[in-house]
Structure 1
Amino acid sequence: MKFYIVMKKILPIRFLLSGLAIVLILGGALAFTVKNDRLFILTKNIDIFATLMRELDSYYVEEIDADELVTVGINAMLEELDPYTEYIPEEESEDFRQMTTGEYAGVGALIGNRGEGNIVIMPYTGFPAQDAGIRIADFLLNVDTVDVTDKTTAEVSELLRGPANTTVQVKVLRDQDTLNFDLTRKKIVISNVPYYGKLDDKTGYIKLAEFTTNASVEVRRAFEDLKSQGMERLVLDLRNNGGGLVNEAVEIVNLFIPKGREVVKTIGKLETVNYTYKTTKTPLDKDIPLVVLINESSASASEIVAGALQDYDRAVLVGRKSFGKGLVQTSLPLTYNAQVKVTTAKYYIPSGRCVQAIDYAQSRESGEISTIPDSLRKEFQTRNGRVVLDGAGIEPDEQVDPRKYAPISYTLVAGNHIFDFATEYYYKKEPVDNPRSFAISDEDYEEFVKFLEGREYDYTTYVEKSLEDLEKYAEKEEYFDEIKEELEAIKSRVNHNKEQDLITHQAEIRRIISGEIASRFFFQEGMIASGLDYDEDIEVAMKYLNNQDLMQNMLTASAK
């Protein structure tokens, strides 16, 4: 640097310009060389891969499946990058389209495997399976002429799907009866808003489960309907919403934020992926008190919505820290109708923060999942000056601990005992009038306890698990003989009693049973509605919505 300053003082200007030109030429040549080197390395390795495949096809002792082998190779290569960069072969392109658009042609039923075969888990409201009378827990026997009792869930789903307006015959076993249904496939559009309603006379609730095509339209319709019913405040539920289309997230933010505001900015290696998304419309309601629910499974587009509303101090966020996915994927076409979904950018919400929690480059080097240390997280500010941090998802304004269920409850659900009892209840009892207010009676619970007789549902309590761990460590460190008697005495005192646990945790178990029964009569909507009055996150949301001073204090810098 000193040499340059001195030379600048004594050299004629033409020599200086000539020198600058030489530097520019050399710099351009160097950049050209670097680019050429990268192209050479790329071309060389592609050639090696193609040569390897030809030689394997010629010389390997057995016939190889080239499609399968190349797919395995591509997937292994992409695993070195991040979990969101994916290869989509031609035969999976339709599934990928359905995932991103929420559309497919079929009968409109979610199915799952119960070990002994596939059953209907949930027929979607208003689609062929439900309209024809197919119900939850129907056991699938045949699809057209194909016996599906030993088929995988994916294979059965493939048989049920097909072009719209084509017919398919489905045979099911219901209790001891064999039933046949002739269904006409139709275009299935899975609702982004599986449920909305009113929590009380003034409070609306919208459950947003996806960000596929028309998500913002569905939220708008739900909002307008609730407003016509007298809604004066709103809870928007983004829990367990893994994200989707960015433009839908922007449109949903625009329902509550004025026109012309930045919602999210994408920044990547190429200029073509750099873009700032702004609100473009007059908001639906820029003043209605708003609480947004998030949790550890709220990701991507959910984090854009929650983060933008937090950055503008437009909503109070309640729940748990979100997933932390600040990466943007772009689908690129490949030859032979294949595609690759590749991470092309990171996104930044209005305060300037990126919510990405995992450093995949560092993780590759260390071999372990690497997150950003708290000490390296940067501070940003919301519009009102509240401090927010980057690098670890969206943190709620008020944290609510996740609900913990008793081990017996987990076991009864996992063992399908509650599922089976709800199915039996549906066919034996009177219809449920209102899923929101429905609760099983004392007599119903006694029937459930009898229903469990002879069924296996053993489990290990948290205390028993802790004692097991203590016993293992004591044996390793040779303390076991000294404390063996004390351990046995404690174990005999804490050994669980299933019958007693059915009494101790009765309230919790009854709520789960009531929700499962509600789903038999009202499907997905019933399952959601039945749990609203026992939801701790909603209780906290209502605390803010019922106290506007508390909400305003939370949304100002002085509260932090």
Structure 2
Amino acid sequence: MKTNRRVTSHQVIRHTGAGASQGSSVAQRMDGISTGAGTSRGNYRSGSCGGSSSPALRRGPKSLRHCALSASLDFMRRYGVISVATFVVVASALVGGLLGRQALAVGARQQDYRAFTAALAAVEANYVNKVESSRLVYGAIEGMLQTLDPHSSFMDPAVYKRMRERQEGRYYGLGITILPVDGDITVVSLFEGSPAYKKGIRRGDIIARIAGEDAKGMASDEAVKRLRGPKGTTIQISLKRPGYDQLIEVEVPRDEINIPTIPAYFMTDRETGYVRLQDFAENTDRDLGLALGDLGGKGMKRLVLDLRGNPGGPLDQAIRVTNRFLPRGSLIVYTRGRVPNSDQNYSATEASEYTQLPLVVLINRNSASASEIVSGALQDHDRAFLVGETTFGKALVQSVYRISEGAGLALTTARYYTPSDRLIQRPWDGTFDEYLTYTLRDQSAPKERSAADVRHTDAGRKVYSGGGIEPDRRLDGPVEGFNPTKFGRLLYNRQLFSGYAERYVAEGDTRITPRPDQKKVSRGFAVDEAVLADFKEYVRSQKVKVDDEAFATDADFMRAMIHYDIDLALFGVSEARRNLVSRDPQAQLALQMFPEAERLAELRRAKVASRQGGR
């Protein structure tokens, strides 16, 4: 397995994936996992919708940065199949001796440089308002990259730092996930064993003050910035807890927080394991190995691997994950580009005990890059049966260059191909808006395909190049396996299910001694008609006009989401995800597809035997 090493000077780390757009107004639930310093990934949003807003995302029209497409923008610009290259870019003087066409080319380039510096000087000297030169230069870089492709992007120092933390799967902070609820910075989950957990902070606590400053109405990004800091330093926070008259003062030390990319795994029955792989980072393969080992000890004989909503991550992790399910020597992916060393073939090089394990993989329109490498390789080798929706379609590799003062440049330097020679990248010959919103479209109609698109798996099945990885069995369900109406997606994006769950539970954990402010909720509770009616009133209280027809249509979806968020509040990620899987239409279909997965395995074995017999 050929992989690149960790980042050092003058070195490229290939990364596949987070540059994929979520491409949907549907925010992806991330099981309450923090994006670094505490901004919520419970529902991936940006800007005025309550999550982080990256300067690198600000190329699109202003309207796209609002709630409906904020998730798309944030997902879109997050650094794709990346190679994080810590190159320092410097201007070099051109010294004599250049003749002919080379001299002309250099002269033309110098004229372009002079035009830029002249424009910069004119703006700095004459614009009606004083403008910082860094803002102008950063804007010029963003404009330049916009002419290339949707995934090349500029990262200011803050965004670059967050990208590296995401890649490494760790950050320094308190170990909490926060979410704005009715203008309050609310703790929606904690990492067990984290500094916040040890100090007694609880889900449902409202952060009223941070280091003495009022946090009411504070943007999530600003709260995150204040809560994070160097390891070993402390932060004073004041908590408002229902049932308590006084604020609770607590001083919390900051520490290294590891962000799990596998928030949940469990047995769905005596023989079937389930793994939720929601992201790729440097710890993913290790975490997957631990999960598979634990499930194997519980009797796992078959596996559902859930890659829905997974935006991707480091290329080497995609290769290592795939290697666990393919025989040694199997091609996993190859890359082709213009720069030296961009042409690489990556194959399975390590023996694995899971190469015969019956496997069903869940994908959807928000599965991108690294998750497309995994699902594409497994499909091409007839190793897994794919269920869900066509994936996003991102097959570009970015290299991230550190250019100055901690800023980064994510530049597309290669394309990747699946083992059957599929380039699954979607075209971007339309507008940036069209590329972002592509996955909002109805996927139920079959795509028109030409003979040139056809490729074949090891067993001879037809698969298609371009426009993502198509599942072997389609079932639309972009939101946790459901396909809600526009109204249902609005409620999901506005975080109203999470907000209602906070109110319903009121605060606390029923496993702790109950308090007067705490509502008792048993594990067997049901979201009945009374709860739905109460939720409808809560929606109205949030100044959202209720569409009664859509509300009735989305009843099952709403029950599942309310149940999930209450489960998450009371019983943790694993139990919440386990209960959601039991209601999730796509997951339930996946559990029925193991006979198909086993049939594929037989086809593949027969094909291999036939080839060997013909030698």
TM-score bracket, shorter-length normalisation: 0.7 to 0.9
**Cα distance between partner residues in 2 of 1:550 and 1:332:** 46
Q: What's the secondary structure of 2:593's corresponding residue?
A: helix
Is 1:521 aligned with 2:561? no
Moved more, 389-398 or 124-133: 124-133
TM-score normalised over the length of structure 1: 0.78
Change (3 A) 1:110 1:427: closer
Q: What's the secondary structure of 2:262's corresponding residue?
A: coil
Larger radius of gyration: 1
Cα shift at 1:373: 6.6
Cα shift at 1:419: 3.1
Cα shift at 1:426: 5.4
Q: Map 1:104-253; keep pairs closer than 5 Å.
A: 104-175=171-242, 177=244, 178-253=247-322
Cα shift at 1:440: 1.9
Cα shift at 1:107: 0.8
- CA deviations over 1:250-269 (Å, ceiling 9, x no partner): 00111011222221111111
Is 1:398 aligned with 2:483? no
Q: What's the secondary structure of 1:272's corresponding residue?
A: coil
Q: Which runs of 5+ in 1 are unaligned?
A: 1-30, 464-497
Question: Are the counterparts in 1 of residues 318 and 370 from structure 2 also a CA contact under 8 Å?
Answer: yes
**Cα distance between partner residues in 2 of 1:536 and 1:32:** 67
Amino acid at match of 1:116: G
**Cα distance between partner residues in 1 of 2:495 and 2:333:** 44
Is 1:88 aligned with 2:123? no
- CA deviations over 1:462-497 (Å, ceiling 9, x no partner): 68xxxxxxxxxxxxxxxxxxxxxxxxxxxxxxxxxx
**Cα distance between partner residues in 2 of 1:46 and 1:91:** 27
**Cα distance between partner residues in 1 of 2:533 and 2:344:** 59
Moved more, 58-67 or 198-207: 58-67
Q: Map 1:234-273; keep pairs closer than 5 Å.
A: 234-273=303-342
Cα shift at 1:505: 6.8
Instruction: Tell me which residue corresponds to 2:110.
Output: 43
Question: Which of 301, 313, 322 lines up with 2:391 in the alignment?
Answer: 322
**Cα distance between partner residues in 2 of 1:124 and 1:428:** 15
Instruction: Tell me which residue corresponds to 1:477.
Output: none
Change (3 A) 1:173 1:534: same
**Cα distance between partner residues in 2 of 1:241 and 1:56:** 42
Amino acid at match of 1:266: T
Cα shift at 1:406: 6.2
Higher relative contact order (CA 8 A, sep 6+): 2
Change (3 A) 1:118 1:353: same
Q: Which runs of 5+ in 2 are unaligned?
A: 1-97, 439-446, 513-521, 608-615
State the superposition RMSD in angstroms: 3.2
Question: Are the counterparts in 2 of residues 108 and 127 from structure 1 also a CA contact under 8 Å?
Answer: yes
Cα shift at 1:554: 7.8
**Cα distance between partner residues in 2 of 1:417 and 1:246:** 35
Instruction: Tell me which residue corresponds to 2:381.
Output: 312
Amino acid at match of 2:259: I
- CA deviations over 1:428-464 (Å, ceiling 9, x no partner): 89449xxxx944248x76366457658546422568x
- CA deviations over 1:219-278 (Å, ceiling 9, x no partner): 111001111111111111100000011100000111011222221111111232111112
Cα shift at 1:374: 3.2
- CA deviations over 1:115-148 (Å, ceiling 9, x no partner): 5232223323332223333233322211112222
Change (3 A) 1:275 1:549: closer
Question: Which of 511, 526, 530 lines up with 1:446 in the alignment?
Answer: 530
Instruction: Tell me which residue corresponds to 2:500.
Output: 420
Q: What's the secondary structure of 1:374's corresponding residue?
A: coil
Amino acid at match of 1:440: F
**Cα distance between partner residues in 2 of 1:547 and 1:311:** 15
Question: Are the counterparts in 1 of residues 304 and 361 from structure 2 also a CA contact under 8 Å?
Answer: yes
Change (3 A) 1:275 1:417: closer
Cα shift at 1:421: 4.5
Question: Are the counterparts in 2 of residues 120 and 139 from structure 1 also a CA contact under 8 Å?
Answer: yes
Instruction: Tell me which residue corresponds to 1:459.
Output: 546
Question: Are the counterparts in 1 of residues 377 and 418 from structure 2 also a CA contact under 8 Å?
Answer: yes
Change (3 A) 1:327 1:114: same
Cα shift at 1:215: 0.6
Question: Are the counterparts in 1 of residues 313 and 370 from structure 2 also a CA contact under 8 Å?
Answer: yes
Is 1:541 aligned with 2:541? no
Change (3 A) 1:368 1:234: closer
Instruction: Tell me which residue corresponds to 1:103.
Output: 170
**Cα distance between partner residues in 2 of 1:555 and 1:296:** 27
Question: Are the counterparts in 1 of residues 359 and 384 from structure 2 also a CA contact under 8 Å?
Answer: yes
Q: What's the secondary structure of 2:110's corresponding residue?
A: helix
Moved more, 172-181 or 315-324: 172-181
Moved more, 520-529 or 247-256: 520-529
Cα shift at 1:55: 3.3
Percent identity between the aligned chains?
A: 29
Question: Are the counterparts in 1 of residues 157 and 405 from structure 2 also a CA contact under 8 Å?
Answer: yes
- CA deviations over 1:165-211 (Å, ceiling 9, x no partner): 21112212222532222211111121011000001000001110111
**Cα distance between partner residues in 2 of 1:153 and 1:186:** 20
Amino acid at match of 2:458: R
Instruction: Tell me which residue corresponds to 1:9.
Output: none
**Cα distance between partner residues in 2 of 1:274 and 1:40:** 32
Q: What's the secondary structure of 1:363's corresponding residue?
A: coil
Moved more, 112-121 or 338-347: 112-121
Change (3 A) 1:536 1:505: closer
**Cα distance between partner residues in 1 of 2:434 and 2:529:** 47
Cα shift at 1:386: 0.9
Q: Map 1:483-498; keep pairs closer than 5 Å.
A: none
Q: What's the secondary structure of 1:217's corresponding residue?
A: helix
Is 1:387 aligned with 2:387? no
Cα shift at 1:317: 0.7
Cα shift at 1:69: 1.7
**Cα distance between partner residues in 1 of 2:114 and 2:176:** 46
Cα shift at 1:352: 0.7
Change (3 A) 1:110 1:43: farther
TM-score normalised over the length of structure 2: 0.71
**Cα distance between partner residues in 2 of 1:318 and 1:142:** 46
Question: Are the counterparts in 1 of residues 500 and 535 from structure 2 also a CA contact under 8 Å?
Answer: no
Q: What's the secondary structure of 2:188's corresponding residue?
A: strand
Q: What's the secondary structure of 2:375's corresponding residue?
A: helix
